[in-house]
Amino acid sequence: MTPALRNLEMTILGLGFLGLAWGKNKLHGYTTPNRVEKSDEEGKVAYLIDIFASLRRFLPPHVDLRGRDVLELSPGASRGNGVLFLALGARSYHAIDVFDLADGEDSAVYDKLLDRFLEGREADRDRARTIARTPDAREFGYAVGRDFDIPRLAQGRSFDLIVSCAAFEHYDNPAQAIAGLTQVARPGCDSVHIIDLQTHSRWIRERDPNNIYRYPETIYRLFRFPGQPNRQRPADYVRSFEAEGWSDIRFVPSRTIGSTLREASLRGLAAPFADRDDMSILDGALTARYPGPRGSWEAAS
Ligand SMILES: C[S@@+](CC[C@H](N)C(=O)[O-])C[C@H]1O[C@@H](n2cnc3c(N)ncnc32)[C@H](O)[C@@H]1O
């Protein structure tokens, strides 16, 4: 097949997938934050341990979680990361989301997680277990709001570490979310955000990972639904963090398009994306630090 024909084929197929994602959302709303079935507890535990390891991999080496207050944006179906932060000595964990996906989560999952996660001190793991079992514990918070007003949903808290995974690409207005998280960041706060930049629909993602970037904004937005990938690229996120005064901002790619698909994936993209030099990045992590001496919040509080 000629390259031009392949582009055409992927563009037409991709439209079908955009329509399917839109239709699924209209019928069921935002229900499946990841590929683990709700009933699959083992799968959930394995997924959480993997995500937590990824987040930690991107933390600056000097970061000590002990005594820290952690915010997770958009945890999806589980606050398991929070249990693991507490198990490593964090003072508190708070999660904020726009959809109420983790409400009523069975605390048995937290026990299973802690049975598997044997790092840190036993006393901290015991404390994590107790806190996670205590209804409405302030050290293990969860707040949901469709406006995603981060300062309001933080309920008076401020944080030393702010993390998210597979969340930023879903935000309607990432710059506004970054402005919001900046308001609750203490001086010296670290931020780690794992961001999935590629097409989300499963079949086409494997064959044409940049498919969502083939469409002009007007066409793409015809299929808009809450949580539709926003098509921001690493440089866009970096600019928004810079605008809010963050420093040491880096986007570290985790995966790029493999050699067999690369050429075809970079060809035939819509105007805003065709000339960018970062279009082979599939996902990665943005890390940043809010200026101020680390630990200064202790003196201030
Ligand atoms: C793919 S899930 C990731 C969930 C979890 N962090 C994980 O790794 O499994 C995307 C998350 O973004 C949230 N989200 C989706 N659309 C959003 C929006 N427009 N504004 C804010 N959050 C949104 C969802 O509620 C969900 O928690």
Sorted by where each begins, the domain ranges of the chain are 3-300
Ligand 1 touching residue 29 (CB < 6 A): no
Mutate to test the pocket of ligand 1, among 38, 48, 98, 198 (most ligand atoms within 8 A of CB): 98
Model confidence pLDDT, tens digit, residues 113-157: 999 999 999 999 999 999 999 999 999 999 999 999 999 999 999
Ligand 1 touching residue 95 (CB < 6 A): no
pLDDT reported for residue 246: 98
DSSP state of 1: -
pLDDT reported for residue 299: 41
DSSP state of 277: S
Q: Tell which CATH classification among 3.40.50.1980, 3.40.109.10, 3.40.630.30, 3.40.50.150 matches the domain 3-300.
A: 3.40.50.150
| pTM of the predicted structure, to 2 decimals | 0.94
pLDDT reported for residue 26: 85
Which phi and psi angles does 255 have, rounded to 5°? -135, 145
Give the pairing type, strands 140-144 and 69-73: unpaired
Mutate to test the pocket of ligand 1, among 99, 172, 194, 197 (most ligand atoms within 8 A of CB): 99
Mutate to test the pocket of ligand 1, among 70, 79, 169, 170 (most ligand atoms within 8 A of CB): 170
pLDDT reported for residue 2: 87
Give the Å distance between the CA of 75 and the centre of ligand 1. Answer: 7
pLDDT reported for residue 297: 45
- Map tokens 């805003």 to a residue: 272
Q: Which residues pair with 255 in a beta bridge?
A: 283
Which phi and psi angles does 189 have, rounded to 5°? -65, 140
List the strands of the sheet with 140-144, edge to edge.
140-144, 92-97, 69-73, 159-165, 185-196, 281-289, 247-256
Give the Cα separation of 59 and 288 in Å (integer). Answer: 10
pLDDT reported for residue 285: 98
Atom 25 in ligand 1: residue holding the nearest Cα: 99
pLDDT reported for residue 37: 77
What single-letter amino acid sits at 108?
A
Residues with pLDDT less than 70, the chain: 294-301
Q: Which helix (H) or strand (E) is 210 found in, with range?
A: none
Q: Which helix (H) or strand (E) is 252 found in, with range?
A: strand 247-256
Model confidence pLDDT, tens digit, residues 207-239: 999 999 999 999 999 999 999 999 999 999 999
Q: Which helix (H) or strand (E) is 26 found in, with range?
A: helix 3-28
Ligand 1 touching residue 174 (CB < 6 A): no
Ligand 1 touching residue 171 (CB < 6 A): yes
Which phi and psi angles does 178 have, rounded to 5°? -70, -40
Give the Å distance between the CA of 123 and the centre of ligand 1. Answer: 32
Structure tokens at 298: 């202790």
Atom 13 in ligand 1: residue holding the nearest Cα: 74
Ligand 1 touching residue 195 (CB < 6 A): no
